[in-house]
């Protein structure tokens, strides 16, 4: 029997993405022991033949529990992650010439970011492995999310973040009671430190690892289920969106969403795979650089430089995975300047009343480029994933917004000002 065959009763195997070696599920097994590559779960779909998502089960993670690597779900730890709104952008779509443009608003998650789906699964796994405390390196959102779920689980949480972490994220992790250390370096320095220090201090290493990626899959399931519900009314065949556009830092989110679509495809719930499109900031376009050179291996940069702090990743752990997702689905990758990203952030807020953080606006900024290069077409069902809430990082957009005037508390003064404005 080949080494990687799944036994009929096993739900999944954990394998190295690079060298294919299988590994045991252990608390210190976050990367491949043989080559240091990222790990992935291979699911035994034969066990899921009769499974169907039950739409009466509330909560995205519980509804899809059969496709998640947790033995027993502690529902006391859920914060009601997932089941986020899917908006059709009629006004912005009209402006851009795209009549089926959607945004999946992941900023509506409990801590304001998509990562909550993965964090719930990761913290459940830490509990299952009887871990006492957790350490996480983060550019802000991952730590805020981990701090929330560990607060719920009453588990100490140690956080390493860059000194420049946006204030909205910092205040969250402090309120949730995490032990926060600011590092004079960038995100990749924090990751390197956390990986070294976790075993030394017997802490569970949370981050862009195998169990988190599984939690992120639920966004893909949810999207397919939502489009299928729409199909009932339109009478047309819609099973998955045509295109899904995702901002990339480490690439874990895009890889997880792709994996979710693959699960649904394998199970026969959808008949085609959406094209996956990854967007980065010009100042941290590490994965895009590999894509432009047609490489399957993502490199590393020494430094990043962008206002999109949530995607400023110099050493993307799931870069190879994201490249594979894009190549295999006939998608593409591109990078965007900070100036354009800020404009797109403002446009989305003004036209659609959706205030997202700069990293999330990358997907909106990408649309005119993709359209001009004929990589997306009018009529296709296009979903931009809005990864995080705008209040997470108020300082960045404030720098380019007009300052409101400060006037005396005097009726005439304010009236004169209004008259000038109204014209």
For position 311 contacting ligand PLP by CB under 6 A, the verdict is yes
Q: Which stretch binds ligand PLP (CB under 6 A): 120-128, 176-184, 251-259, 325-333?
A: 251-259
For position 280 contacting ligand PLP by CB under 6 A, the verdict is no
Task: Output the smallest distance, CB 136 to ligand PLP, in A.
Answer: 12
CA atoms within 13 A of residue 127's CA, in its CB half-sphere: 22
For position 247 contacting ligand PLP by CB under 6 A, the verdict is yes
Distance CA 374, CA 198 (A): 46
The pattern of x and - marking residues 113 through 132 that bind ligand PLP according to CB under 6 A reads x-x-----------------
Q: Which two tokens stand for residue 79?
A: 């914060």
Q: Which two tokens stand for residue 225?
A: 């289920």
Q: Which two tokens stand for residue 154?
A: 């009453």
Partner touching 359 among ligand PLP, Zn ion, none, CB below 5 to 8 Å by kind: ligand PLP
Task: Output the smallest distance, CB 63 to ligand PLP, in A.
Answer: 22
Query: Among residues 115, 38, 113, which one has the least CA distance to residue 318?
Result: 38
Partner touching 407 among ligand PLP, Zn ion, none, CB below 5 to 8 Å by kind: none
For position 276 contacting ligand PLP by CB under 6 A, the verdict is no
The pattern of x and - marking residues 336 through 375 that bind ligand PLP according to CB under 6 A reads ---------------------x-xx---------------
Query: Among residues 323, 330, 303, which one has the least CA distance to residue 314?
Result: 303
Q: Is the Cβ–Cβ distance between 28 and 3 less than 8 Å? A: no
β-strand pairing of 101-105 with 86-88: antiparallel
For position 250 contacting ligand PLP by CB under 6 A, the verdict is yes
Task: Output the smallest distance, CB 163 to ligand PLP, in A.
Answer: 18
Task: Output the smallest distance, CB 270 to ligand PLP, in A.
Answer: 23
Residue 275 pairs in a beta bridge with 243
Secondary structure in 3-state letters for 18-39: CCCCEECCCCCCCECCCCCCEE
Site for ligand PLP in 193-222 (CB under 6 A): 208
Task: Output the smallest distance, CB 255 to ligand PLP, in A.
Answer: 8
Distance CA 143, CA 187 (A): 12
Q: Is the Cβ–Cβ distance between 307 and 358 less than 8 Å? A: yes
Site for Zn ion in 11-50 (CB under 5 A): 16, 18-19, 21, 32, 34-35, 37
Q: Which two tokens stand for residue 246?
A: 């995702």
What does the DSSP 8-state code read for residue 97?
Answer: T
Distance CA 170, CA 189 (A): 18
Task: Output the smallest distance, CB 117 to ligand PLP, in A.
Answer: 11
| Residues lying near Zn ion in the complex (CB under 5 A) | 16, 18-19, 21, 32, 34-35, 37
| Residues lying near ligand PLP in the complex (CB under 6 A) | 113, 115, 141, 208, 247-253, 310-311, 313, 357, 359-360, 387-388
């Amino acid at each position: 029997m080949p080494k990687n065959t799944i036994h009929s009763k096993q739900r999944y195997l954990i394998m190295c993405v690079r060298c294919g070696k299988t590994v045991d599920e252990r608390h210190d097994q976050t990367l491949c022991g043989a080559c240091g590559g990222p790990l992935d779960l291979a699911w035994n779909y034969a066990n899921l033949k009769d499974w169907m998502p039950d739409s009466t089960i509330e909560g995205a993670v519980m509804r899809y529990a059969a496709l998640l690597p947790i033995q027993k779900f502690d529902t006391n730890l859920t914060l009601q992650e997932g089941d986020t709104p899917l908006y059709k952008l009629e006004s912005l779509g009209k402006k851009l010439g795209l009549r089926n443009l959607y945004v999946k608003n992941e900023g509506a998650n409990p801590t304001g970011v998509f990562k909550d789906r993965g964090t719930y699964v990761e913290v459940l796994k830490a509990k299952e492995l009887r871990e006492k405390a957790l350490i996480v390196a983060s550019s802000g959102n991952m730590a805020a999310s981990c701090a929330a779920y560990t607060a719920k689980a009453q588990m100490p949480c140690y956080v390493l973040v860059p000194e420049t972490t946006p204030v909205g994220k910092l205040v969250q992790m402090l309120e949730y009671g995490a032990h926060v250390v600011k590092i004079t370096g960038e995100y990749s320095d924090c990751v390197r430190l956390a990986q070294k220090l976790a075993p030394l201090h017997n802490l569970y290493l949370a981050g862009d690892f195998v169990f988190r990626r599984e939690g992120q899959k639920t966004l893909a399931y949810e999207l397919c289920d939502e489009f299928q519900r729409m199909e009932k009314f339109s009478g047309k065949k819609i099973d998955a969106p045509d295109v899904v556009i995702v901002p990339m830092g480490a690439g874990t989110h895009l890889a997880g969403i792709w994996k979710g679509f693959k699960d649904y495809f394998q199970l026969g719930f959808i008949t085609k795979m959406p094209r996956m499109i990854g967007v980065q900031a010009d100042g941290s376009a590490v994965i895009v650089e590999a894509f432009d050179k047609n490489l399957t291996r993502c490199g590393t940069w020494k430094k990043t430089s962008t206002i999109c702090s949530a995607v400023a990743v110099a050493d993307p752990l799931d870069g190879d995975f994201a490249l594979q997702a894009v190549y295999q689905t006939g998608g593409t990758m591109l990078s965007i300047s900070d100036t354009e990203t800020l404009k797109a952030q403002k446009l989305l807020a003004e036209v659609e009343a959706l205030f997202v953080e700069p990293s999330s606006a990358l997907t909106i900024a990408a649309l005119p480029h993709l359209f001009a290069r004929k990589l997306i077409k009018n009529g296709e069902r296009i979903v931009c994933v809005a990864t995080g809430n705008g209040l997470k990082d108020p300082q960045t957009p404030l720098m380019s917004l007009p300052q409101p005037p400060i006037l005396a508390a005097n009726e005439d003064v304010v009236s004169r000002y209004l008259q000038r404005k109204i014209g």
